Amino acid sequence: MFGYYFELAWRRFRQSKALTALMVLAIALGIGTSMTTLTVLHVLSGDPLPGRSDALYYPQLDPRDNSGIMPGDEPPEQLTLIDGLNLLHAKQADRQALMTGGTVAVQPDAAAITPFYVEARYTTADFFAMFGAPFRYGHGWSADDDEAKTRAVVISGELNQRLFGGANSVGRSLRMADSLFRVVGVLDDWAPSPHFYDLTTGSYGAAEQVFLPLPSALDLHLPHEGSNDCWGNGTGGVGRIYPSPTCVWLQFWVQLDTPARAAAYQAFLTHYSEQQKALGRFVKAPNVRLRSLMQWLAYQQVVPDDVRLQAALAFGFLLVCLVNTVGLMLAKFLRRGAEFSVRRALGASRRAVFAQLLIESAVVGLAGGVGGLLLALLGLWVVRHRPSDYAALAHLDPAMLLTTFLLAVGASLLAGLLPAWRACQVAPALQLKGD
């Protein structure tokens, strides 16, 4: 029966090409604009580490004094060096990584390559295993390397291609900031989006190209980049290599594999804050937070407000297109009253006629989905050429491709409900008598 109704729909479209084209165009325009913005919203609000994010948490402490701090304030978004090292050495999590960002000068051995600067991540050994960073060659460094301040480095595949022609460079030397480092690993393609582990360097910025042990970077006074917040006698980093002890500037992530472990870790943070207050470092009552990765992204509002607004406006435009489609379908279906009356007189039920008209609506939606897909691809191409840090992410994935057609067919079925119902209410006797 479906095949028969589909054939009937195709015949009707050929008989009323102009009206059908208008309906398809209306659906295509609405789907194209809405899917363009929905795809951008989807890629910006997606989970950067599917399968891992539920076990990753971002701890926050409040070491500030009472100057200018109102009760109920959120704790700082970063940690002081003292607190970061204390939490790291406490080893209360399944895995943990203390880190910050920087920029280092790479000095290639090849005379044909001039020195250049790259984005760096100063972190600790668990970073790669905790975040599931894939390796093309080698591996990360160990916790013993952290303690020994080993001159080890993990480089990106892009930098490996640039310096070593893509060959296995594990064991090779790399001179950075006038210091010699040994390559212990080369990452495969890995650029989590958003850049969740350090949002101070940009929510959708490019991934770093070198990863160094944090203790080694501190020992060498490698330049730090990123925000810092100071209080009391904090200098804010002015005239210093690193911010003062009364400045927060480091990010700290922990892996807690079970909800019970997460609850225990939050209790540990409260106990740690109480200890630091007893020692005179903290002056406030414990003010801690422990947000999961996705909760942290929501708290930070990483999706730009203009993207959400554009998505809302696009779906508003889709609604306008659907209203127009309803009017066109109503005109098309009602003028075919005689046809439906004959079918009813020959024994067809209202349900059968209603099903026929809904299938016609679905076919319009399918055709509109094809047109909407082409318009969405064009729209995403335009987005990729915008000067935004997230522009390069605007690509249609299989999930959004399926959503395009589901939304198109669903929207057309919704638009066809009222016209189909009205057409089925026409009394066959009146139509046949009038004809």
Domain that holds residue 150: 53-300
pLDDT string in tens for the chain (435-residue length): 555 555 655 566 666 777 778 888 888 999 999 999 888 888 888 888 999 999 999 999 999 887 655 555 889 999 999 999 999 999 999 999 999 999 999 988 766 678 899 999 999 999 999 999 999 999 999 999 999 999 999 999 999 999 999 999 999 999 998 899 999 999 999 988 888 999 887 777 668 999 999 999 999 999 888 788 888 766 544 445 677 888 899 999 999 999 999 999 999 999 999 999 999 999 888 999 999 999 999 999 888 777 888 888 888 988 888 888 888 887 777 666 666 665 655 556 667 777 777 777 888 888 888 898 999 899 888 888 787 777 777 788 888 888 888 888 888 888 888 777 777 766 655 544 555
User: Is residue 169 located within the same domain as residue 107?
Assistant: yes
* Closest to 405 measured CA to CA, from 351, 356, 364, 366: 366
Instruction: Name residue 156's amino acid.
Output: S
User: Is residue 74 located within the same domain as residue 99?
Assistant: yes
Max Cα–Cα distance, the chain, nearest Å: 98
- Measure CA 44 to chain center: 3
pLDDT of residue 424: 72
User: Is residue 57 located within the same domain as residue 21?
Assistant: no
User: Is residue 289 located within the same domain as residue 193?
Assistant: yes
Alpha helix positions (H), 335-397: 337-345, 350-384
User: 2-23 burial, b if ≥16 CB within 10 A, otherwise e?
Assistant: eeebeebbeebbeeeeebbeeb
pLDDT of residue 111: 64
Indicate left, alpha or beta for 47 from its phi (over 0: left) and psi (-120 to 50: alpha). beta
User: 272-304 burial, b if ≥16 CB within 10 A, otherwise e?
Assistant: bbeebeeeebbebebbbbbbbbbebbeeeebbb
Domain boundary, last residue among 252, 267, 300: 300
User: Is residue 161 located within the same domain as residue 246?
Assistant: yes
User: Is residue 73 located within the same domain as residue 195?
Assistant: yes
CB 241 within 8 A of CB 89: no
Domain boundary, last residue among 300, 323, 344: 300
Half-sphere exposure of 153 (CA within 13 A, CB side): 28
User: Is residue 257 located within the same domain as residue 332?
Assistant: no
CB 424 within 8 A of CB 372: no
Whole-number Å distance between alpha carbons of 219 and 213 = 10
pLDDT of residue 178: 86
- Measure CA 87 to chain center: 29
User: Is residue 184 located within the same domain as residue 331?
Assistant: no
Whole-number Å distance between alpha carbons of 340 and 425 = 10
Q: How many domains is the chain partitioned into structurally?
A: 2
User: Is residue 288 located within the same domain as residue 378?
Assistant: no
User: Is residue 126 located within the same domain as residue 202?
Assistant: yes
Whole-number Å distance between alpha carbons of 274 and 278 = 6
* Closest to 102 measured CA to CA, from 200, 237, 222: 222
Per DSSP, what are the bridge partners of residue 97?
253
Whole-number Å distance between alpha carbons of 326 and 27 = 11
pLDDT of residue 238: 40
User: Is residue 179 located within the same domain as residue 328?
Assistant: no
User: Is residue 322 located within the same domain as residue 419?
Assistant: yes
Domain boundary, last residue among 300, 334, 355: 300
Whole-number Å distance between alpha carbons of 362 and 149 = 65
